[in-house]
Amino acid sequence: MKKISIIIPFWKYLNYLKECFSSLKESTFKDFEVILVLDHVTEDITSIIPEGIDVKFVNLNEKQGCAAARNEGIKAATGEFIYFLDSDDYVLDDTLELLVNAIQGEEDIVYGTIKNTWNNKANFLDKQTKQEESNDSEDREAELEEKENARQEKIDNYVASLPLGSNIEKELAIYFLERNRKGIRNFTVLGNLYRRSFILENDLKFHEEFRYYSDMTFMCPALENVHKATRCKDSVYVKRKHNDPINKPALWQEDNENRFEERCKAIGYTRTLIDPQGTVRYFIDMKFAHFATNTMAKKIRRSKDNKWRKEYFDTIVPYLMDSHPQVLDNIGSQNKKILMAFMAGDVQKVQKAVRFKLGKKKLKSIFKNKNINTLYKLAYYHVYLKKPIKENVVLFETFMAKNYSDSPKYIYEALVKEYGDKFTCVWAINNGAEIPYGAKTVKRFSFQYAYYLAVSKYLVFNVRQPLWFRKREGQVFVETWHGTPLKRLVFDQEEVTSAAPKYKQQFYRQRLEWDYLVSANPFSTKTFRSCFMYDGPMLEYGYPRNDIMYYPNKDEIALELRKKLGIPANKKTILYAPTWRDDESYGSGKYKFTLALDLQLMKEELGDEYVVLLRTHHYIADNIDTTGLEGFVYNLSKYDDISEIYLISDICITDYSSVFFDYANLKRPILFYTYDIEKYKNQLRGFYISMQDEVPGPLLMTSEEVVNAILNIDQIKEQYAQRYEEFYNRFCSYDDGHASENIVKEVFGKNK
Ligand code: C2G
């Protein structure tokens, strides 16, 4: 007999299942069988199951759903213990071993910890290591110790509050597995070993009628009947949140009308399985009351859908009335008022109590210093959105108002050229710079910004609009985006390792607000349609920001700029413009960059002939130290417009930045310094085209290789001539210097 039977229900999303199995393959504990319960699976799964794992397949046949799958899994299991593992989650190498080592005797349950993540195992572990490193200071250690002590004190108090003669092990299991798991959704069977005989003797099973809430039908009676339980805090079950709720929703992300009713029914049914006066009942009722007074009450107050106020209200009231008596005594005072109004069956009173609670909360948050500067949002929603739209006003924004550059700049200048002062132009700009041709400037996330977001007829942005923006009927939103995609984007991106894990969900809503999307080439058009799930109009005229490379006076502009920047006339220039790394974040839009290019070596080897123009991505918060390299390295990271810098660059070195798609318009040599390509490609992002076979220059892995390539640049040019030509035809064919003008005519011409 195997020690553990791992029950995995599977219905779809092979990529997750693959990760799940590979985590089992890497488990240090091997004495297990997997019961893989297939719930009407159409995909071929055989290829993803690693060798050496003992897998029993069970087909659900006429049944369906996770509850039925787990029940069938229990029937097929032969192990001493059962461990439920969902096909979209994974374990760490020592998860099972730690649980098994924690067994002291005849435990019914050995329970571990659950950690939630948006990431696959490699990225999860990376983040964990970084977290541990950042905790590695005396202050932080002291802070953590204090937190741990407070936690322990809470547990001690809980134990002290138990009546004499209580089964402490059982009460602690209830504490950790039920009370401490926030909400009903987190009250789960996952992460624990259950002795199989304990399950069978108590006839524990999942109620198959419930799609979302069957866990409580297993867990409540399990906790009620448990005698011996041990906690193994260090055993981690990794619960993976789905970052694509649109195309790959997890169960809880499904939008299903029946969910509400099922929740009530599941509570009703579960109550029949347990002692009405017991602790298990008290905690489940408390969770239900919190659902009513928080989530549901808010919907009753805000929802445009009357269902929440009528149908759902009438449904929930009897269940709330049947709550454990101590729920009303112990729930917080605001929620108590709401709960009492529910119990009195008075929907208006509920609305009033919620209004009071939310109003108080809002006031509190406004007057807490950190939120005072979000008042502009209130003004946006409650005042500015009610003002009429101003027909000839255009709001421009580039890279979150960091500079005056990119396609919005060139569209703006073309607009001024075409229509003079017919349009009132406003630029969101944070550095206080003046904008040529007299545009008004506003700071991003200010009252004025909020005002122009609300009343401008046109908005021209090169990144996403703010999350709180709500496009009005009559507004025209032009999204220029900011590069031909090499790195996988949004819905084509399996992992979202950068700061906002709800990226896809937000994007899905935001892209519906775009009236036009600028595309520089047929490849971008195709890719944007899929990665943004965008099917609106495309402006396919080339990139406005590339127009400058076709200006007849581009050499004069270049000469001027070289002079302005003080670049010696006798030196050639190498632009080094790398991109940012998704996993190197300091938090919200600020990223670390560790320079991997040996500039000292470059100076020694190339300094007689060249200077380096260093340009970091606008996300990079670090200021690269170039001490000792004065006169050789020019740090142009703060210079507004990289398109102008292209004009003065004789060679461009980049990595995975879209920079090279634009720079190729100049037909000058491009080198790729891709020292971390394996990680970038496989773990962080993935690419749309093959860097190995399709980019117009060599991939270089060391600074020495970079230096060598530059010393032999004529040879490289020759070697890559054909590929460059093909690349140029594929990605630069729309660019002709007139993209801005054409876009202005198409978008603003209609207003003439
Ligand atoms: N950029 C720059 N300096 C750098 C890197 C980038 O000025 N060192 C500018 C270029 O105009 C580039 C744009 O920022 O085209 C976008 O930068 P990427 O490095 O391509 O990265 P990202 O911002 O993630 O955009 O479809 C394109 C993608 O969205 C990539």
pLDDT in tens, 271-327: 999 999 999 999 999 999 999 999 988 888 888 778 888 899 999 999 999 999 999
Cα distance between residue 11 and residue 208, in whole Å? 15
pLDDT of 499 strictly over 60: no
B/e letters for 589-623, b = 16+ CB within 10 Å, e = fewer, are bebebeeebebeebbebbeeebbbbbbbbbbbeee
Taking each helix axis as running N to C, give the angle between helix 14-25 and helix 121-134, from 0 to 180 degrees, rounded to the nearest 10.
Answer: 60
Q: Which residues line ligand 1 (CB under 6 A)?
A: 481-483, 485, 487, 489, 577-579, 615-617, 642, 657-659
Kindly calculate the radius of gyration of the chain based on its CA atoms and give it in whole angstroms: 30
Pick 140 or 459 by higher pLDDT: 459
Cα distance between residue 80 and residue 4, in whole Å? 6
Q: Average pLDDT for residues 325-347, to the nearest whole number? A: 94
Q: Which atom of ligand 1 is nearest to the CA of 656?
A: 19
Q: Which atom of ligand 1 is nearest to the CA of 485?
A: 26
pLDDT of 752 strictly over 70: no
Which amino acid residue places its CA nearest to atom 19 of ligand 1?
A: 657
pLDDT of 398 strictly over 80: yes
pLDDT of 751 reads 54
Asked if 716 and 709 touch (Cβ cutoff 8 Å), the reply is yes
pLDDT of 305 reads 77
pLDDT of 425 reads 98
Taking each helix axis as running N to C, give the angle between helix 279-290 and helix 259-271, from 0 to 180 degrees, rounded to the nearest 10.
Answer: 160
pLDDT of 273 reads 98
% of the chain at pLDDT higher than 70 = 99
Q: Average pLDDT for residues 234-248, to the nearest whole number? A: 93
- Which amino acid does the sequence have at 76? A
Asked if 672 and 654 touch (Cβ cutoff 8 Å), the reply is yes
* Best probe residue, ligand 1, of 658, 661, 665, 673 (max atoms within 8 Å of C-beta): 658
Asked if 734 and 533 touch (Cβ cutoff 8 Å), the reply is no
How many A from CA of 399 to the centre of ligand 1?
A: 10
Rounded to a whole number of angstroms, the distance between the first and last alpha carbons of the chain is 81
Separation of CA 170 from chain center: 38
Taking each helix axis as running N to C, give the angle between helix 215-225 and helix 279-290, from 0 to 180 degrees, rounded to the nearest 10.
Answer: 150
How many A from CA of 352 to the centre of ligand 1?
A: 50
Q: Which atom of ligand 1 is nearest to the CA of 654?
A: 8
Hey, what are 597's tokens?
Answer: 């290019």
Cα distance between residue 149 and residue 643, in whole Å? 56
Hey, what are 353's tokens?
Answer: 């109590």
How many A from CA of 653 to the centre of ligand 1?
A: 13
Pick 304 or 265 by higher pLDDT: 265
Using DSSP, state whether 396 is helix, strand or coil.
strand
DSSP summary character for residue 92: -
Q: Average pLDDT for residues 648-667, to the nearest whole number? A: 98
Per-residue confidence band for 359, with pLDDT thresholds at 50, 70 and 90? confident
pLDDT of 372 strictly over 60: yes
Cα distance between residue 81 and residue 721, in whole Å? 64
- Which amino acid does the sequence have at 303? S
Torsions phi, psi for 148 (to 5 deg): -65, -40
How many A from CA of 656 to the centre of ligand 1?
A: 9
How many A from CA of 418 to the centre of ligand 1?
A: 28
- What is the dihedral sign for C-alpha 527, 531, 534, 537? negative
pLDDT of 503 reads 87
Residue from 205, 201, 260, 245 nearest 66 by CA: 205
% of the chain at pLDDT higher than 90 = 84
How many A from CA of 432 to the centre of ligand 1?
A: 23
* Number of Cβ within a 10 Å radius of residue 520: 30
How many A from CA of 720 to the centre of ligand 1?
A: 24
Asked if 216 and 184 touch (Cβ cutoff 8 Å), the reply is yes
Q: Which residues contact 366 (CB under 8 A, 6 or more apart)?
A: 372, 374, 375, 378
Torsions phi, psi for 670 (to 5 deg): -125, 130
pTM for the predicted model, two decimal places? 0.88
- Which amino acid does the sequence have at 55? V
Residue from 735, 732, 660 nearest 697 by CA: 660
Pairing of strands 590-591, 585-587: antiparallel
pLDDT of 629 reads 96
Q: Average pLDDT for residues 384-410, to the nearest whole number? A: 97
- What is the dihedral sign for C-alpha 482, 488, 493, 498? negative
pLDDT of 486 reads 97
Mean pLDDT for all residues in the chain: 94
pLDDT of 585 strictly over 90: no
pLDDT of 679 strictly over 70: yes
Model confidence over 171-194: pLDDT tens digits?
Answer: 999 999 999 999 999 999 999 999
* Best probe residue, ligand 1, of 464, 479, 482, 525 (max atoms within 8 Å of C-beta): 482
pLDDT of 370 reads 63
- Which H or E run includes 339? helix 333-343
Cα distance between residue 330 and residue 110, in whole Å? 30
Asked if 480 and 406 touch (Cβ cutoff 8 Å), the reply is yes
Model confidence over 616-639: pLDDT tens digits?
Answer: 999 998 889 999 999 999 999 999
